[in-house]
Amino acid sequence: MTTPHPAPGRPPRERAARPHVPDTGHLFRAQNRLHAFNRYELKYLVPVDRLSGIRAELAARMAPDGHAGPHGYGVWSLYYDTQRLRFYWEKIEGLRFRRKLRVRRYGETGTGDDDSTVSVEIKQRVNRVTQKRRVLLPYSEARALCDRRERVEHAAAQGFVDEVLDLLHRLDLRPTAMTGYRREPYVGTDADLGLRVTLDHRVRGRDRDFDLRSETESRYIINPRFAVMEVKADERAPYWVTDMAARHGLQIQRISKYCQSVEAFGKAPRSVFHVPEDDLLTAPSATTPA
């Protein structure tokens, strides 16, 4: 696939050469509280009038995620980037090695306290494989680490915590954008163990008030008439998943919720991958919980 030209206004590069891809295999084999995933991902935009058919086919072959209630759960993510949006541009330019740092919270807005558990994650792409490493921390410690750049102690995954701290200092990372949505998850069974499909509804974002528990008004960054279907597999998506998508007229999309939020709030020019928002001019604001 041809790499797209950067959108107008792209700032000068912050590095002279593409970073070396580190050997992180030992981190994925470590048996500790550092969670790590290696997966292939496909993303689709699903019109809400086709969701019932998609949902019926998923339910016939997969099981609902046991961690989700009947209406799924809220997902709130705070993304960190450089002043010149290095991680954003790495995604837009399709670099074979790229990454991003985020803090993620599951649940409803307006709930939880400083002891609520959140995950601090480095999500990176190496060629076609998505790698995600994360560690669970109390929210107060995650803020100390990522916002105040203080070293926090973690007996089981100190190396990863120190890597996050180094990344924050070395690249001068700062809170940049938030996303939030309602997630409806399905997990594979039998021959499809390792398969995970999620339907993300009412995808919103904001560019300020970065408390993950805040009920501050967010705005839609993807038309609420669409859900985002993400297919995650250990090796490749089963044929029945891609066949289902084709029968429902769905096409693979290069969607990044983080990039959508950056562009929706005017922090970067709209890229060729920005989801069209012609109808969003009349869409309601998103003030209710995920």
Over residues 250-284, the pLDDT tens digits come to 999 999 999 999 999 999 988 878 887 654 433 44
Burial bucket for residue 127 (CB in 10 Å: 0-12, 13-18, 19+): exposed
For residue 52, the tally of other CB atoms under 10 A from its CB is 9
Return the amino acid letter for 253: Q
The tally of CA atoms less than 13 A away on the side-chain side of residue 108 is 8
Is the pLDDT at 129 greater than 70? The verdict is yes
The predicted model scores a pTM of 0.83
Query: What's residue 290's pLDDT?
Result: 53
Which tens digits make up the pLDDT trace of 42-68? 999 999 999 999 999 999 999 999 888
CATH code given to domain 37-282: 3.20.100.30
* CA distance linking residue 251 with residue 1, whole number of Å: 16
Written as six digits, the tokens of 82 are: 């450089």
Torsion of CA 6, 10, 12, 14, to 10 degrees: -80
* CA distance linking residue 187 with residue 206, whole number of Å: 30
Which tens digits make up the pLDDT trace of 111-126? 778 899 999 999 999 8
